Structure 1
Amino acid sequence: MNIILVIFDSLRKDCMGVYGSPPWGKVYTPHFDAFARESLVMTRCFGESLPTLPARRAIYTGQRVYPFHDGDFRLKGDFVGAPGWGPIPENQPTLAEMLSGAGYRTGLISDVYHMFKPSKNFWRGFDQWTFLRGQEADPSRSGPRLTQAEIDYWLPEEVRNVAKHMGRPSLEF
């Protein structure tokens, strides 16, 4: 048996073809739909915690993040006092460790840079892991930066005007 766990935390159920079409029309997600036809699809699944990192912590450990417990959040780079953002305690087993112990080969592919910070250990127990760089504040990019001409072409003038007049009264809108 193979286990593939796919986690998206910024994807609406009504925008996935596998769950039906939204009221405004057809949504085309053929690759996800094909994957879903061969998979177990959850229809009533609710995250134990939010946002991204605490949610993954709950999934990786099977432990509740809320109510707040069992954490030291004073490490550099962590959100002080924010449950679920600290490293996973070394004495707390992870899903990856349990699967490895049962003979599975485990891998983690993620673009959540918080999981790969030196003060974190969310990759613990995986046989191999890959960090896809370029999200949020991570400076790595998968392609060249946009030129000013591309920005001018794609970004509406109204949005550029907001940035230009930030902090000053504007009657343009």
Structure 2
Amino acid sequence: MDDHDDQPAPDPTMTRIVNAVQLGRSGQQALARDTLTALWDEIGVDGDAFHRCTLAHYLADLQESTEAELSWDERALAAVADLTDERAQQYHHSMQVQGFLPSLHLNLADDHRRLGNTALAREHLALAERFVGRLPDDPYGEMIRAGIRNATEALEQD
């Protein structure tokens, strides 16, 4: 088997996270939120940083308030500080931790903008822009670049 195919290495915890995310995308947000919250408790605050970052990132999107979303986005960013490229590449060979930063900071910028924390929103947006060169040149990278442009425009209108 080729070590550099596009299939993630088997990771039962990531499978559980992906399955829960799919529940949320299918309209079952409460079940997805409950499933991911229980998994967060199982992983623990000192558990695998890749799992914590991924889970918190997706769990933020399932929250019912911007304050709760901010809390989970902050946990995702905190977890990435403990994450290494080597660990991320155990899941997929192309992953680099700095490639996570534009999205994480974009989410925090949007949270802070919606909460009226304009200065913090601008700080996180500047950090997202700082790391934008680490994004792949693919649909995901373009989605994050477009999000940064949209967030910049929204801040300019506030």
Q: TM-score, normalised by structure 1?
A: 0.24
Higher relative contact order (CA 8 A, sep 6+): 2
The structure having more radius of gyration, on CA atoms, is 1
Greater share of helix: 2
Greater share of strand: 1
